[in-house]
Structure 1
Amino acid sequence: MKKVLIDAMFKHIQYGGVAVRYWDGEEVHYGDTEPHFKIIFNKKPPLMTATIEDPTITLGEFYMDEIIDYEGSLDELISIMEMNKLLNSDTQHLANKWMTAAKSGLGSVADKFKQRQNIHAHYDLGNDFFSLWLDKTMCYSCAYFKKQDDDLHLAQLQKIDLILKKLRLQPGMQLLDIGCGWGWLILRAAKQYGVRALGITLSEEQYAGARKRVEEAGLSDQVTVKLSNYLEIDPAQYQFDRIVSVGMFEHVGRDYFASYMKKVHDLLNFGGISMLHTLTNLREVETNAWAKKYIFPGGCIPALREIISLFPDYDFRVWHMESLRRHYVKTLELWYENFHQHIDEISGMFDKRFIRMWTLYLQGAAAILRTGNLDVYQILFSKGVNNELPITLNDIYVD
């Protein structure tokens, strides 16, 4: 690849400052301020290695392939890319309803097969892999830190307990967990609150792990785990008092935001409560090309207003919203530490390109959250008006 092509890509940086040291020793500063972030070319990129039109995928692949390294904080690069509109692809603001009549139901067989493939690409990397750097709950979502020195395991338990408290569970209630992961939430809900729980996942590895946990806990008569698409849950067969989804909505895809809401509406009893725990973007943008190709194929992180704008169509009433952005930054930092503490074992499972890819993913996600381009919200809402709920949430934050 000729230097002139790469130079043309970096010349899109008009605000902020980035230094680039090329493979021939030349160093060029781009932007309008003194650079605090430097990209270092270890070697000349091969011809046609990536598309220069999208810097996220170009720089991501350069890093994975050891063509480049960097000096400085990724927060600085993320901020500069955001200032120069290089981080995401902007889309037009969307109307309240995206769905055609054909997509408002279960979706096509091809769509559901693609969803399963997308989940398989990320979550079925192996329980042995995830267990090395997640805590023993195997919660792969934002933890909740009451104190700065809380360890990861305690913070994940606190996150689960926070969710269960917000749901106001009572013995005998029916709980659905859409995207149940390895099942810790539904197990804790059954043990602590005496509910009957159904967890569903598209990941075969998570399904096997969650079922094993249920059996080992002796809760098979109270907790069920299904390998299923949430759209396939039949409202004629199932009705729930509470529905929760943690870190799953990002995988639905923009075309199916409304389908998700309709399914929750159809499965939730009137007055019932649901929680959506999801990453959010500040604006309606597409997931950057590198993350979509290598980390979360088919994923789409919604803007908060995209979610809320759908609620009136399904008689959903917001009860409470809470940002956990800084909690997720700390979670990712601890995951990254754990990942590198077990780098020898991971190197025995995957090649160096994969390791550099996951390093960039964990560090990059934390940087995007720190700079405020991403957030994570817990949105609590009821189907219809519920005047039986407590008038405040004070008790939820008291041990």
Structure 2
Amino acid sequence: MGVDKFFYKSMFRSLFSDPCQVQFWDGEVARYGGEKSKFKIVFNESIPKIDFIKDPSLAFGEGYMAKKIDIEGNLQEVVQSLYNNTKSFLHHHDMYAKVINMISNNIKRSKDNVHYHYDIGNDFYKLWLDETMTYSCAYFKSPDDTLTQAQKNKVDHILNKLALKEGHTLLDIGCGWGELIITAAKKFKVKSTGITLSLEQFNKVKERIKIEGVNDLVEVRLVDYRELKDIKFDRVVSVGMVEHVGKEYLSEYFSTVNKLLKEDGLSLLHCITSVQEGTTNSWISKYIFPGGYIPAVKELLCHMSEEKLHLIDAESLRRHYGRTLECWARNFEDSLSEIKKTKDETFIRMWRLYLNSCAASFNCGNIDIHQFLFTKDVCNNLPWTREYMYK
């Protein structure tokens, strides 16, 4: 038996929380955890053991992308089985490794990072997102909610939390394809400004503003939030953007939001969070979100405190994001015939792994997502209870 094969046979004895089979590159099949296997890992070729020892997340991800590894069964369940086995050596290594992200996300690099992920093409995202083109965690008020309804629920939930009134000004940092700012203008008659670094999103939002007939209330700008000068808003919201800021720029984010808020201003931050400080995933960072960093809850609270911002509400939507990603993964598979017209097999396997592994991560509690509501000042004019958020 070769050294690499001996290593893998030993590794798989305690890797998953569910029974499985592993087929090695020489055709041998080994069973682990019992007779009724839940899935099967197929090695189409040998991967040097040193690659897994150095970085198992990157080795598995690249192996799957290059078709050196195949999965027979549900890919999401495979990843969940990895995370659920807390005794696995991966929990003490690098599935979500403790690595400090020291990449400098200055304005130029931030624009490049956003372009890498979000400017793949609106036509691509339209194939598997919902009708509102919302690319963030949905909010399922009912098990029967469609993805589109759940995304509308999410926007309403955020806007209700912000206690908007007619005449307010609202800034959306990282406005995506514009659903939130357009809804805010139509439902609450607030003057909404969206900013993005994605040219594809910028052009689409401009088109939507014209179609919806809200030119007098909504504008979109192709600009970094740090480039906004001499302007203040009653409300500032950011949904799924701060994960792109980078660890060393988190302080600047909250400082900038503080400067952008009027006195008694209110802000909502909706973002992916981690339990421990300094966590990132090497495969995700390399292939999906370059420059990304998932902040710990305590980091975010510390930065708020340093800016003398007052936290008034925090809510976890972890299970909602798990379901959202499951919906996206199904839509992605249902659209494969169209996706294959413009994307190659490596790209497809990369995105399949990304969507399924993220769904697994949220379902297992490996990562979380929170909405933080905070004020610039004490702001005693808000309702006394949370009931207004659910009106």
CA contact under 8 A between 2:111 and 2:197: conserved in structure 1? yes
- Equivalent-residue separation in structure 2 for 1:182 and 1:252 (angstroms): 19
Amino acid at match of 1:43: E
Is the deviation greater in 21-30 or in 2-11?
Answer: 2-11
* Residue correspondence of structure 1 range 245-256 to structure 2 within 5 A: 245-256=238-249
1:224 aligns with 2:219: yes
- Equivalent-residue separation in structure 1 for 2:268 and 2:130 (angstroms): 23
1:67 aligns with 2:68: yes
- Equivalent-residue separation in structure 2 for 1:10 and 1:365 (angstroms): 27
TM-score w.r.t. the length of structure 1 is 0.88
SS in 2 for 1:286: coil
Amino acid at match of 1:42: N
Amino acid at match of 1:118: N
SS in 2 for 1:349: coil
1:198 aligns with 2:193: yes
Residue 163 of structure 2 corresponds to 168
* Counterpart selection for 1:293 from 280, 286, 292: 286
- Equivalent-residue separation in structure 2 for 1:307 and 1:53 (angstroms): 30
- Equivalent-residue separation in structure 2 for 1:395 and 1:113 (angstroms): 40
CA contact under 8 A between 1:9 and 1:55: conserved in structure 2? no
Unaligned runs of 5+ in 2: none
Residue 383 of structure 2 corresponds to 390
SS in 2 for 1:210: helix
Residue 121 of structure 1 corresponds to 116
1:340 aligns with 2:333: yes
Amino acid at match of 2:220: V
Q: 1:16 to 1:41 in 2, by over 3 A?
A: closer
Residue 83 of structure 1 and its aligned partner are, at CA, apart by 3.4
1:76 aligns with 2:76: no
Residue 273 of structure 2 corresponds to 280
* Counterpart selection for 2:41 from 39, 42, 46: 39
- Equivalent-residue separation in structure 1 for 2:216 and 2:9 (angstroms): 59
Q: How many positions carry a matched residue from both structures? A: 381
Residue 187 of structure 1 and its aligned partner are, at CA, apart by 0.5
Q: 1:246 to 1:22 in 2, by over 3 A?
A: same
Residue 88 of structure 1 corresponds to 96
Residue 383 of structure 1 and its aligned partner are, at CA, apart by 0.7
Residue 381 of structure 1 corresponds to 374
CA contact under 8 A between 1:292 and 1:299: conserved in structure 2? yes
Q: Identity of aligned pairs, percent?
A: 44
SS in 2 for 1:241: strand
Amino acid at match of 2:58: I
SS in 2 for 1:377: strand
CA contact under 8 A between 1:246 and 1:276: conserved in structure 2? yes
Amino acid at match of 1:78: Y
Residue 86 of structure 1 and its aligned partner are, at CA, apart by 3.1
Residue 22 of structure 1 and its aligned partner are, at CA, apart by 1.2
CA contact under 8 A between 1:11 and 1:30: conserved in structure 2? no
Residue 21 of structure 1 and its aligned partner are, at CA, apart by 2.4
* Counterpart selection for 1:185 from 180, 183, 192: 180
- Equivalent-residue separation in structure 1 for 2:219 and 2:335 (angstroms): 33
> What is the CA deviation profile of residues 113-146 of structure 1, one whole-angstrom value per residue up to 9, with x for unaligned ones?
1111111111001000001111121100001111
* Counterpart selection for 2:139 from 133, 136, 144: 144
